[in-house]
Amino acid sequence: MNTSERRDSIRAVMWQENSLVLLDQRKLPHKKSYLKITRSDDVARAIFNMVVRGAPAIGIAAAYGYVLALYEVYPGHQKDWRTAMQPKVNNLLASRPTAVNLKWAVERLQNRLDGIDDDPCKLALHEAHAIAREDFEANIAMGRNGADYIQYSKGILTHCNTGSLATGGFGTALGVIRTLAERGNLESVYASETRPWLQGSRLTVWELQQDNIPSRLITDSAAASVMHAGKIDWVLIGADRVAANGDVANKIGSYSHAVNARYHGIKFMVVAPFSTIDLDTKTGSEIEIEDRDSIELTSIAGQSLTTESAQTYNPVFDVTPAELVSVLVTERGVIEAPDEVKIRIFLGAD
C-alpha cells in the first residue's frame, strides 16, 4: 500500500447527500457497518453511544450535527433560528463533555455565522467541511512532527485508539506511528486493550493490520511488565483535552501508563491537534470526567462478567499531570516538557 492510499484508507465520519454517515465503531472489527443520520439529536445520540469516538472525530461529527440542526429549524424559523437552535446545540454539547473538540467545533460554527441574516445553511456546511479537511491535514503534520522528534523506535506502546477512526483521517498518535512505519523507522507497536470499551483490541489492532504495521496486543495490566522487559522506548497517546498548564485528559489508563513510563525511564508523548489545548481550563482538576454506565464494566457483548449486585465506578477518562509528559506534539510544532508558560508562549497568548 502506498503512502497516499494508506493515509486515506479509512473514514469514520463522512458527509453524503445532505446526511452524516458514520462508521459504527461498536461493531468493529467483525463488521464494517455505516449509519446514515439526518437529525441532529441522532448525532448527539451516536456520539454518546460511541458509534463515533475520539475527540477530533467527535468534533467533526458535532459540526455536521450543527448543520443538520440548521436544516431542521431554519425553514420555519428564518428570523429566530438561533433561538430555535439552542436546545439542539445544548444536546450536542452534552453528549461527550470531556472532549473539548466538540465544544470547539460548535463554537467555531456559531462564530462563523455571527451576523449572518440570510440562509446560514450553506455557510455552515462549508465550515463543517473545512473542519474535517483541516483535521486530516493537521494529522499529517502531527505525524511528521512526531516522527521527526522520535526518529527511530524499537517499540511503541499506544493506548486506546488514535487513528483514522478517531479523527478525520490518518490519526494523531497513530499518525506518528504510521509515519515512522512508512519511513522504515519502527520495529513494533504494542497496543493495550483499553478496558472497558476495548478500543485498543477492537480498533487499533485492526487499523495497524490494515497498514501491515507489526503489532502485538497486550492487556492493560501487562504494560509495566513489557516496559521492564525493555521492549518499549516510547509511549504515545492522544488527548481529549489539554489544560492550560499541560495536564492531559485522555482515555482511562493513560495516567497509569505515564507513571509506569516515568519509573522505567521511557519517554511519554501526547499527540493532539492545536484545538485540543484549552486555555479556559487552568488545570486538569477542572476537567469534567465522564462517568459512564456500569454495564460497560459488568458485561462484554451481553455476557455478564460479575454478580448482578456488583457496584462499579466507571470513569472513562483520567488526567495525566504535565510533569509526566515528555513532549506534546501538535500540527504547529512540539512542546518539550509542557507547562503553562511554554504553552502560552507556544499559543502566542502572552
Q: What is the pLDDT of residue 5?
A: 40
**171 and 249 assigned to the same domain:** yes
Catalytic residue (choose from 135, 211, 233, 240): 240
User: Where residue 159 sits, what CATH number does that domain have?
Assistant: 3.40.50.10470
Q: What is the pLDDT of residue 350?
A: 58
User: Does the pLDDT value for residue 203 go beyond 50?
Assistant: yes
For 151-189, write each residue's pLDDT tens digit.
Answer: 999 999 999 999 999 999 999 999 999 999 999 999 999
Q: Are residues 203 and 328 in the same domain?
A: yes
pLDDT of 1 = 40
157 and 120 in one domain? no
Are 124 and 160 found together in one domain? no
- Is the per-residue pLDDT at 273 higher than 80? yes
| Model pLDDT, residue 308 | 87
Instruction: Evaluate if residue 79 carries a pLDDT over 80.
Output: no
Is 147 found in the same domain as 263?
A: yes
The CA-CA-CA angle for residues 137, 144, 240, to 5°, reads 65
pLDDT at residue 78, rounded to an integer: 67
Same domain, 114 and 70: yes
Q: Do 159 and 124 fall into the same domain?
A: no
Whether the predicted pLDDT of 123 surpasses 60 = yes
User: What pLDDT, on the 0 to 100 scale, is given for residue 76?
Assistant: 63
pLDDT of residue 117: 76
Mean local confidence (pLDDT), 131-156: 97
Mean pLDDT, residues 234-246 taken together: 96
Give, in order, the Cα–Cα distances in Å from 293 to each of 197, 252, 296, 298, 316.
12, 15, 6, 9, 10
Percent of the chain with pLDDT over 90: 79
> Same domain, yes or no, for 131 and 82?
yes
**Residue found by looking up cell 525493555 in the block:** 230
What is the per-residue pLDDT across 13-52, written as a single tens digit (0 to 9) for each? Answer: 999 999 999 999 999 999 999 999 999 999 999 999 989 9
Question: Which residue, of 91, 115, 135, is where some domain finishes?
Answer: 135
Contact 188, 154 (CB under 8 A): yes
At residue 293, the pLDDT reads 86
- The yes-or-no answer on residue 41 being catalytic is no
Judge if 14 and 120 occupy the same domain.
yes
Nearest one of 199, 145, 134 to 176, comparing CA atoms? 145
Q: How many CA atoms lie within 13 A of 226 on its CB side?
A: 24
Domain boundary among 135, 162, 194: 135
Task: Say if residue 115 is in the same domain as residue 243.
Answer: no
Mean pLDDT of all residues in 214-226:
97
pLDDT band at 3 (very low <50, low <70, confident <90, very high): very low
Does 99 have pLDDT greater than 80? no
8-12, 130-134, 294-298: range with highest mean pLDDT:
130-134
Residues 14 and 37 in one domain: yes
pLDDT of residue 136: 94
299 or 64, which is more confident: 64
Q: Which of the listed residues 85, 116, 135 is the one where a domain comes to its end? A: 135
Q: Residue 61 maps to which CATH number?
A: 1.20.120.420
Residues with Cβ within 8 Å of 79's Cβ and at least 6 positions away in sequence, in order, are none
CA distance 179 to 187: 13
Q: For residue 14, what are the domain limits? A: 3-135
Whether cis (ω within 30° of 0) applies to the bond prior to 75 is no
pLDDT value of position 2: 43
Claim to verify: residue 314 and residue 256 sit in the same structural domain: yes
Number of domains in the chain: 2
pLDDT, mean of residues 247-275: 97
pLDDT reported for residue 292: 84
